[in-house]
Structure 1
Amino acid sequence: MKRLFAALTGVVVGLTLAAPAHAHPRPDPLSIRGADVSSLAKSEAYGGVYRDRDGRRGDALRILEKAGLNYIRLKVWVNPADGYNDKAHVLAVARRAKAAGLKLLVDFHYSDSWADPGKQNKPAAWAALPYEQLKRAVYDHTRDVLNGLRRQGTTADMVQIGNELNGGLLWPDGRYDNWPSMAGLLNAGYDAVKSVSARTRVVLHLANGGDNGLYRWWFDNAAANGIRYDVIGLSYYPYWHGTFEAFQANLNDLAVRYGKPMILAETAYPFTTQDKDGWENIILAAEPYPGYPATPEGQTAFLRKVTEIMRAVPNNLGLGVFYWEATWTGVPGNGWDPADPASGNGWENQALFDFTNRPLPAMREFGQGR
């Protein structure tokens, strides 16, 4: 009996000791764990505050960094009506970000307001420029902003030449039906980036991250027209851009077809259906994507899922994720339209800070593996 008991005990002990080998370790974090915080400077100017998990007021950038983020994204407009998202504000936020240990992605829209698949309007100051002068304006503007960052010791780590370029940029000169002209404009931006810092990586960014046909058409044409870039950027919002499966299939195909590293340049998900600022939210559904309710838990699960998808990209070409407008909380005056001070924010239910200005659980997903 003693021998039998010893044998059984040995089995139990062996199983106990072996268990950790079968446990699921936390995955390594993505190399880029970022958030777009373009609205932050205006939010703070209009009284927006940010708090840590214990309710203590703090710097939003340091709260994000403590949660595990290591990058921010800032958009640049040429001459915005409200004076925000211009060179001066980008430089100011960049100083704070670098001091907090965060890297920097600069997103050039080449417009005075939003540039996206539905509109790529020239800045007013460039509207009448002939094509060659328009190319020079792209180069000079890009170099000016990036040189300003370099001179203050906050060199950009990545740069987007254009934003959501499905149909090109600076219409009509750089529209999708004139690829040689589009190529000249994009390459002018590329050259400007490299003239300031050869190490800064250049991103070309499209929306509709689940649409493989779009990406093949676009990047095949980019190759045929000699468009230069280092990284492919995608926007993927599941309530607009298709299923997780379509997004993953597109990423996997792009990795094999082009061999370029990729970032999820924009994504987000609601944590509530409630409204804070009286301006109707853009996403109202209680379950915008099947199985992912508009709750803190649903937002967390969503971010975990897209992170897993990026981590699974072949050949480790999935660099990371940027959460769009993580700090765009409901602050009167900090609306979406730079030309309309009365406009509100339809995005505060998708921020990474809740309606009490504290971090949501989803923010901690960026720290997994640290």
Structure 2
Amino acid sequence: MKRIILAALVLLMALAAPAQAQTGHGRLQIRGADVSSLAKSEAFGGLYRDARGRRGDALRILSQAGLNYMRLKVWVNPADGYNTKTRVLAVARRVKALGMKLLVDFHYSDTWADPGKQFKPAAWEALPFDQLRQAVYDHTYDVLDALRRQGTTADMVQIGNEINGGLLWPDGSNTNWANTAALLNAGHDAAKRVSRSTKVVLHLANGGDNGLYRWWFDNAAANGIRYDVIGLSYYGYWHGTLEAFQANINDVATRYGKPVVVAETAYPFTTADDDGWENIIVSAEPYPGYQATPQGQSAMLARVADIVRAVPNGLGLGLFTWEATWTGVKGNGWDPADPSSGNGWENQALFGYDDRALPAMAVLGRL
């Protein structure tokens, strides 16, 4: 009888082991970084070094540290000619050659799209709504099909960036959910036409705001918006406590039965400035208990990763650090229309002011 009981216990443990592995143990599927600014940084002389100071390709340094997924944004016709289809194709080749996966982030704008602004591309300004929807489809298909044809199919794609209030204002504002749905579904359908395996992400900011997420994705369900993954931005100094973030990401994953990914997060490693343009985050302790130091940056990214790993039912995919390669290179400022603009983010990159990989990179690669 003891043998039977022991055998039964062993069997139960074997059956439970895969389930345990699905619920927050082991490495994250996505250990990622947004490197949208990299091509421009390199063009203006930006250098990158590994933790030992050896100069090298930034993407290779990230890959060797253990990162496995890169995120690239796409603008339609930006003033500086970067983050276009052509530029994305070139960087995508490098990403895939290193064995990493690719997330393509469509802004559907000539410049930044986020909760405060969703400006139409100039070429789309006067289009009637049906033609605007077709433009979304055509642009999405064009970029993704070009990636497929060069052998670098996108593994994930964002239809819009931080679309709390919709996209392509005013037509796609979610004051009119039918319009929002039509535009998002046009992007979804274009992506799936290129590759059924590409996962479509819908991405909101304010990752600690559960009321926002329930309101948004309840309306998405009511209006038939199609998607595969829920994306969140979470910056601890803007988006509420870590506890609020954890409660929200757990809730949306289970409520909507979708995988979740932190599409953007970051933390400063210093309060110092490197390019003469004031940094966006200047506090010595932007989030309580986490200093603006290399150690504090590492600890915050590890904490966010732990929260994602613990999402119920194995639905937490991972995270992307935002603009990991956006160092203080003159000419590579935030405004594509103003060459004199600087970078307020260089103190949150994964490379320090000596161009070396910071400890947080290796931490992220092991998560």
TM-score bracket, normalised by the shorter chain, equals over 0.9
2:246 to 245, 248, 263: 248
Matched to 2:287, the amino acid is Y
1:274 alignment partner in structure 2: 272
Task: Provide the TM-score with structure 2 as the length reference.
Answer: 0.93
Supply the distance in 2 between the matched residues of 1:99 and 1:261 (Cα, whole angstroms): 27
1:160 alignment partner in structure 2: 158
1:357 to 355, 358, 363: 355
Matched to 2:108, the amino acid is Y
1:70 to 68, 71, 74: 68
1:261 alignment partner in structure 2: 259
- Cα RMSD for the two superposed structures: 0.9
1:296 alignment partner in structure 2: 294
- 1:177 lines up with 2:175 in the alignment: yes
Q: Give 1 or 2 for the bigger CA radius of gyration.
A: 1
Deviations 1:24-65 (A, max 9, x none): xx9511001100000000000000010112211100001000
- 1:348 lines up with 2:356 in the alignment: no
Supply the distance in 1 between the matched residues of 2:112 and 2:171 (Cα, whole angstroms): 18
**CA drift at 1:360:** 0.5
1:19 alignment partner in structure 2: none
Matched to 1:206, the amino acid is L
Supply the distance in 1 between the matched residues of 2:114 and 2:302 (Cα, whole angstroms): 26
SS at structure 2 position matched to 1:278: coil
1:147 alignment partner in structure 2: 145
Supply the distance in 2 between the matched residues of 1:367 and 1:84 (Cα, whole angstroms): 28
Number of residue pairs matched by the alignment: 344
**CA drift at 1:256:** 1.6
- 1:314 lines up with 2:275 in the alignment: no
- 1:115 lines up with 2:113 in the alignment: yes
Supply the distance in 2 between the matched residues of 1:332 and 1:102 (Cα, whole angstroms): 29
SS at structure 2 position matched to 1:42: helix
CA contact (8 A) 2:37 2:325 kept: yes
> Structure 1: any 5+ residue segments left out of the alignment?
1-25
SS at structure 2 position matched to 1:328: coil
2:13 alignment partner in structure 1: none
SS at structure 2 position matched to 1:50: coil
1:9 alignment partner in structure 2: none
Identity %: 77
2:42 alignment partner in structure 1: 44
1:105 to 103, 106, 121: 103
CA contact (8 A) 2:75 2:109 kept: yes
Which aligned runs of 4 or more in structure 1 are off by greater than 6 angstroms?
none
Matched to 1:151, the amino acid is R
**CA drift at 1:367:** 2.6
Matched to 1:258, the amino acid is Y
1:28 alignment partner in structure 2: 26
SS at structure 1 position matched to 2:320: strand
1:199 to 181, 186, 197: 197
> Structure 2: any 5+ residue segments left out of the alignment?
1-23
SS at structure 2 position matched to 1:62: helix
CA contact (8 A) 2:25 2:309 kept: no
Supply the distance in 2 between the matched residues of 1:333 and 1:256 (Cα, whole angstroms): 44
Supply the distance in 2 between the matched residues of 1:315 and 1:304 (Cα, whole angstroms): 20
